[in-house]
Amino acid sequence: MTRPPLNRRLAEFGTTIFAEMSALAARTGAINLGQGFPDTDGPEEIREAAVRALRDGRGNQYPPGPGVPELRSAVADHQRERYGLAYDPDTEVLVTAGATEAIAAALLALIEPGDEVVALEPYYDSYAACVAMAGGTRVPVTLRPHEGVRGGATDRRYVLDLDELRAAVTDRTRLILLNTPHNPTGTVLTRAELTAVAELAIERDLLVVTDEVYEHLVFDGAEHVPIASLPGMRERTVTIGSAGKTFSFTGWKVGWATGSRELVTAVRTAKQYLTYVSAGPFQYAIAEALRLPAAYFDTLRADLQRKRDLLGDGLRAAGFEVYQPQGTYFITTDITPLGEKDAHAFCCALPERCGVVAIPNAVFYDDPDAGRTQVRFAFCKKDDVLHEAADRLRRLAS
């Protein structure tokens, strides 16, 4: 059989671009700036906390379905202390196997076949697959680069067109799927943008699922605003977070969802039949991580901002147009100034041409023409790796 026996709902999906590009990096020995994972593990004391939990027999057998109480209360405290959002750790917090499972469980729980889901495009690849598995229809609203002034400097940032968002909502729309800070563009939605989204959700009685896994990775003083914290939104919003991004342990797959009791109960119902529970010992370690002092989060942010600038300067010197990200650990670029027209072909040839792997953004669009010349680079890597990548990319000019 040459084609796998996939059901119709998944027929348009193959291997994820991240797996494909990481395999290409492994095969060619190229520097992998494709899939977003740090090349340095998170804090040593948190690693040790996981080892301790394993040795002490905490979480080695099925932990409670909603997550261990220590982690649920740490998540609730985090949301309250940072954002003034109060959640009951027993009924309004759910621990999941990474944000990926939270997204899947939320969409499976909250949409009916035929419902429309409005999602920002370019979108993280699992959104399209999960909407499809739930039998929904995705309706993309495209973020576009826009000239703007921030902090006295001109930059081109991807922005949300609120008229387009409004026009995308129909009588069949069930929910808006948000992502801020946004992968792959690095845009951090502003309070004004989020207020407009909130007003629309209230006016049209929509649910919001918001993927905020990069909440701590914001730069240049940008503010991360959880939409759940805006008036009238707590009751209609499921907010998703992940230890993978905040603590640099992407392999542990610890994520969480917070929301009203009704919404979290719905998401938990779906989650029970996906994984039932998530890995126990890591939950205890992440409960400690969420209580690290502010200095941890400040250092993470400052380090990443420096890395953004290091890689951004390298990409500009190599001739790329760079869209300056205010958040995440990704930089989206345009390859048109290099005389290139097709990002997929460009990314497939890049390891051979200069020993670097990146992601073609076209895979994040319904209309591949929309992202035809955009390429995403991850900068969550050691400084010497970023310097070396920048040197290699400069060879493209010659």
Binding footprint of ligand GLN on the chain (CB under 6 A)? 16, 18, 35-36, 183
Q: What would the two tokens of residue 146 be?
A: 């826009």
Q: Residue 114 gets which letter from DSSP?
A: T
The residue among 38 and 66 lying less far from ligand GLN, judged by its C-beta, is 38
In angstroms, give the least distance from the CB of 183 to ligand GLN. Answer: 5
Beginning with the edge strand found earlier in the chain, give each strand of the sheet holding 321-323 in spatial order: 321-323, 330-334, 374-378, 359-360
**Closest of 310, 313, 329, 342 to residue 376, by C-alpha:** 329
Angle, to 10 degrees, between the axis of helix 280-289 and the axis of helix 44-55? 140
How far is the C-alpha of 388 from the C-alpha of 381, rounded, in Å? 11
- Helix H, strand E, coil C: the string for 346-360 is HHHHHHHHHCEECEE
**Whose Cβ is closer to ligand GLN: residue 24's or residue 202's?**
24
Rounded to 5°, the CA angle 99-84-127 comes to 20
CA distance 346 to 343: 5
Q: Give the separation between CA 249 and CA 47, rounded to whole angstroms.
A: 9
Q: How far is the CB of 30 from ligand GLN (least distance, A)?
A: 16
Q: Which residues contact 1 (CB under 8 A, 6 or more apart)?
A: none
Report the 10 Å Cβ neighbour count for 207: 22
123 vs 346, beta carbon nearer ligand GLN: 123
- Closer Cβ to ligand GLN, 239 or 328, answer by number: 328
Which one, 176 or 357, has the nearer CB to ligand GLN?
A: 357
CB of residue 18 to ligand GLN, shortest distance in Å: 3
SS3 151: coil
CA–CA separation, 292 and 267 (whole Å): 28
Output 38 or 59, the one with its CB closest to ligand GLN: 38
Minimum distance of ligand GLN from residue 48's CB (angstroms)? 26
Neighbour-count burial of 220, counting CB atoms closer than 10 A to its CB (0-12 exposed, 13-18 middle, 19+ buried): middle
Closer CB to ligand GLN, 138 or 174, in the complex: 138
Collapsed DSSP state (helix, strand, coil) of residue 364? helix
Minimum CB–partner distance for residue 136 and ligand GLN (Å): 20
Two structure tokens written together for 103: 């997204």
What is the smallest separation between the CB atom of 120 and ligand GLN, expressed in angstroms?
14
- Measured from the CB atom, is 169 or 380 closer to ligand GLN? 380
Closest to ligand GLN by CB, 36 or 59: 36
Distance of closest approach, residue 100 Cβ to ligand GLN, in angstroms:
7
130/179 Cα distance (integer angstroms): 15
Smallest distance from ligand GLN to CB 174, Å: 25
- Two tokens at 284? 């205890």
Distance, CA of 107 to CA of 334 (rounded, Å): 32
**Bond before 184 cis per omega within 30 degrees:** yes
- Cβ-based nearer residue to ligand GLN, 100 or 373: 100
> Cβ atoms within 10 A of the Cβ of 314, count?
23
